[in-house]
Amino acid sequence: MTPLIELRKVSKYFGPVVSLKDIDMRVYAGEVHCLLGDNGAGKSTLIKALSGVHQPSEGQIYMEGQPVVFNSPRDALDKGIATVYQDLAMLPLMSISRNFFLGREPKKKVGPFTLYDAAFAAQVAREEMKKIGIDIRDPDQPVGTLSGGERQSVAIARAVYFGAKVLILDEPTSALGVKESAVVLKYIVQAKLRGLGVIFITHNVHHAWAVGDTFTVLNRGRSYGTFKKEEATREQLLQMMAGGEELEALAVELDLIAKKDPTTAAQIEHKAAEELHKPN
């Protein structure tokens, strides 16, 4: 099966900063591909390369087997890659239906004028939201009156409606509570069942484990590799995500310091306490 989207040896440099180095990754239709890694690992940079915000410095992206270049977010969108950003998903003061169609307004011709078809927008927004289980009373109500999970859901519904083949979600659950996250995770699965390839970025290994089929772990711009769910355990994944080996090394080091030199450790502690209690 040809992957929906494939990265071969993709690197991205910002001046001297190496954000991504030689990344290989394949996303297939009908799978949830989780992208994991610590802060600064390069996850956002990777999806920005996929969504047309950045162009890779080296390497090539393929879509359904064909090499592609995404010149702008709009370009990627037109080619079927929709991205839902955690914070930039919606304009809170704008109505649900206007948000839903922002940038791709439905048009109707009235005489010589091309108008925004508000009635159509309202109807579609309501129907599409209903399909994912949210019954909005009034598509004219501002998005700001929806809860965080519902807002994410509007963004996902929008991407699905506009025929996205690949849906990229950058930490959609990071600001959400347990219930709200569950709502969003449900739509991720729904999108996958509809045959989309979903790239799901998260820091939460439980969320990743709940919906993911495949996992790619990034660390300092490099890939630790891709694992199928059958091939790994949750604990292994967690270790890789947190840079487990480094953590272990650090624990040992701290332990050593404490054992070898209790006086220094105590002094450091004392000094820190003094600093804290100083006025100003």
Ligand X SMILES: Nc1ncnc2c1ncn2[C@@H]1O[C@H](COP(=O)(O)OP(=O)(O)OP(=O)(O)O)[C@@H](O)[C@H]1O
Looking at the Cβ atoms of 104 and 206, the one nearer to another protein is: 104
Looking at the Cβ atoms of 44 and 216, the one nearer to Mg ion is: 44
Can you tell me the distance from the alpha carbon of 60 to that of 49, in angstroms, rounded to the nearest whole number?
10
Q: Side chain identity at 268, as an amino acid letter?
A: I
Query: DSSP alpha helices (H): ranges in 90-147?
Result: 96-101, 118-131
Which residues are at the interface with ligand X (CB under 6 A)?
14, 17, 19, 37, 39-45
Alpha-carbon distances of 96 from 69, 151, 171, rounded to whole Å: 32, 9, 22
17 and 28 Cβ atoms separated by less than 8 Å: no
Residue 43 Cβ vs Mg ion, minimum distance, rounded to whole Å: 5
Listed in sequence order, the residues at least 6 apart from 143 whose beta carbon sits closer than 8 Å to its beta carbon are 90, 91, 92, 93, 94, 95, 96, 99, 151, 154
Residue 222 Cβ vs ligand X, minimum distance, rounded to whole Å: 11
Residue 27 Cβ vs another protein, minimum distance, rounded to whole Å: 20
245 contact choice in Mg ion, ligand X, another protein, none (CB below 5 to 8 Å, kind-dependent): none
Per CB under 8 A, contacts with another protein among 184-223 are: none
71 and 52 Cβ atoms separated by less than 8 Å: yes
**Residue 102 interacts with another protein (CB under 8 A)?**
yes
Q: Which two tokens stand for residue 32?
A: 């949830």
Looking at the Cβ atoms of 40 and 133, the one nearer to ligand X is: 40
Can you tell me the distance from the alpha carbon of 152 to that of 129, in angstroms, rounded to the nearest whole number?
11
**Residue 44 interacts with Mg ion (CB under 5 A)?**
yes
211 contact choice in another protein, Mg ion, ligand X, none (CB below 5 to 8 Å, kind-dependent): none
**Residue 161 interacts with another protein (CB under 8 A)?**
no
**Residue 119 interacts with another protein (CB under 8 A)?**
no
Alpha-carbon distances of 192 from 29, 113, 156, 162, rounded to whole Å: 8, 40, 12, 15
Residue 89 Cβ vs ligand X, minimum distance, rounded to whole Å: 15
41 contact choice in another protein, Mg ion, ligand X, none (CB below 5 to 8 Å, kind-dependent): ligand X
Can you tell me the distance from the alpha carbon of 63 to that of 75, in angstroms, rounded to the nearest whole number?
13
Show the binding pattern over residues 68-97: x = contacts another protein (CB under 8 A), - = does not: -----xx--x-----x-x--xxxxxxxx--
Can you tell me the distance from the alpha carbon of 108 to that of 229, in angstroms, rounded to the nearest whole number?
48
Q: Which residues of the chain form contacts with Mg ion (CB under 5 A)?
A: 44
Q: Which residues of the chain form contacts with another protein (CB under 8 A)?
A: 51, 53, 73-74, 77, 83, 85, 88-95, 98, 101-105, 107, 113-116, 118, 135-138, 140-142, 144-147, 150
